[in-house]
Structure 1
Amino acid sequence: MNKQELIEKLRSNRDKCFEEANKYEVLSWNRQIADSKALVYMQVINWVEQLSEQPKVTVPQFVAKWIKQCKENATLADCLNGYYQISNGEVVGSTDFQNWVADNENDELTANAWIFGYEVEKLPVFPLSQGDLVIRKGKHEAKIYIVESVSESGVLLVNGIKDEFYSVDDEGGPDNDLDYFYSNFRLLAKKESLQTEEAK
């Protein structure tokens, strides 16, 4: 139940008390009791209206995905551990989440996201055009790619060995969506800057 639903419930009970009070004579003991109940409800409504809402926390996309998965299949404790066991004995886990919680002590943030809700962190989106250079830093090496095309459906990169397409609708799997692209690649040079360098 959220704050507004609680207020509506309290108002409904207050109105019932007023209706009950109207059944009795003005100075009767029963009317005074019903009026007093209604006044108590009015005071509680006032206090609830003054409560501040718990703000939603902001979490990275992979954390939001893990929390959603855990809410469907596990408990908050399992979620905070970064793994849970399904009915056939298989263990499901998220190494990225475990590292994020351990490195940054984000267990309280995760618990707040689970209880009060969350917003997904907006990834920085840099403007791209055909011919720009982007860089992806891997675990062992950095690779440079040329932007082959940018369209409504996604971004196509070429590094001389293979093409990589990053789309808005996850056609290529978990590593080929635009969220992955914007979280793992950086703009290295704009095409115009490269042409200026060549002209010198």
Structure 2
Amino acid sequence: MNKQELIEGIEAVPAHNTRTRPWIDKRVVLDLIRLLDEPQKVKIPQCVADWIEKCKTFKHFTVSLSFALQPIVWEENNLSDKCIDWLMDANNQNTFARAWLDGYEVEEEKRYLVRFKGLDKDLEYLNFKHGHVWVFSDNIENEEYRTCHTRKELEEADFGWVFDCPGVEIEEVEE
């Protein structure tokens, strides 16, 4: 239900006249309001969410919104190439505005299993031991090892090259 349909619905609610003003059933009106469509939150990448939050800390709302879409400001704030590519895509302009105005949800990042070909079966997967150490182990995730990694996690640990290496098999994991 949109705003106009809500207004028409409330106008159609029967009213009982009293001396001072008409009376309508509050429950009926509340039921109509519950049918009103709220804007759905759009999904955006984490880097864009971070950029929106940073921009909203600028002193003036209108200035920060206009700055948020300026390429020179992106460069001054060292935005990642991924974030800049997303912001430059004309199809994302409306999504960015909706995220700014109505809120957003962060897209789940793709996660990957990284298997090194030709290694012992029990030691062929790249794992992150929760003590901040990368190790080779099997593909069974447990409280000690994380076996599925985001591209960002791999790149930050200098493992970005695995995506281009013929000796490494990358499997996207469905959550």
TM-score, scaled to structure 2: 0.52
Residue 133 (str. 1) matches residue 116 (str. 2): yes
Counting aligned pairs with the same residue, the percent is 23
Q: Displacement of 1:83 after TM fit?
A: 5.2
- After TM superposition, the structure 1 = structure 2 runs for residues 140-179 of structure 1, keeping only pairs within 5 Å, are 149-154=127-132, 156=134
Task: Work out whether residues 112 and 150 of structure 2, in 8 Å CA contact, stay in contact via their aligned partners in 1.
Answer: no
Post-superposition Cα deviations, 1:13-45, rounded to whole Å, max 9, x if no partner, equal: xxxxxxxxxxxxxx9623xx1xx2x42866653
Distance 1:179 1:116, change over 3 A: farther
What is the distance in 2 between the residues matched to 1:42 and 1:148? Answer: 58
Q: Displacement of 1:109 after TM fit?
A: 0.4
Gaps (5+ residues) in structure 1? Answer: 1-26, 86-90, 135-145, 159-167, 169-176, 191-200
Relative contact order, higher structure (CA 8 A, sep 6+): 2
- What is the match of residue 29 of structure 1? 19
For this pair of structures, how many residues does the alignment match? 124
Q: 1:55 aligns with which of 40, 46, 52?
A: 40
- What is the match of residue 86 of structure 2? 100
What is the distance in 2 between the residues matched to 1:152 and 1:178? Answer: 15
Task: Work out whether residues 133 and 147 of structure 1, in 8 Å CA contact, stay in contact via their aligned partners in 2.
Answer: yes
- After TM superposition, the structure 1 = structure 2 runs for residues 68-107 of structure 1, keeping only pairs within 5 Å, are 68-73=53-58, 75-82=64-71, 84=73, 91-92=76-77, 94=79, 96=81, 97-107=83-93
Post-superposition Cα deviations, 1:53-75, rounded to whole Å, max 9, x if no partner, equal: 21111111111111111111252
Greater share of residues in helix: 1
- What is the match of residue 12 of structure 1? none
Task: Work out whether residues 81 and 98 of structure 1, in 8 Å CA contact, stay in contact via their aligned partners in 2.
Answer: no
Task: Work out whether residues 147 and 156 of structure 1, in 8 Å CA contact, stay in contact via their aligned partners in 2.
Answer: no
- What is the match of residue 121 of structure 1? 107
What is the distance in 2 between the residues matched to 1:78 and 1:114? Answer: 13
Residue 180 (str. 1) matches residue 152 (str. 2): yes
What is the distance in 2 between the residues matched to 1:42 and 1:94? Answer: 50
What is the distance in 2 between the residues matched to 1:51 and 1:101? Answer: 31
What is the distance in 2 between the residues matched to 1:28 and 1:99? Answer: 62
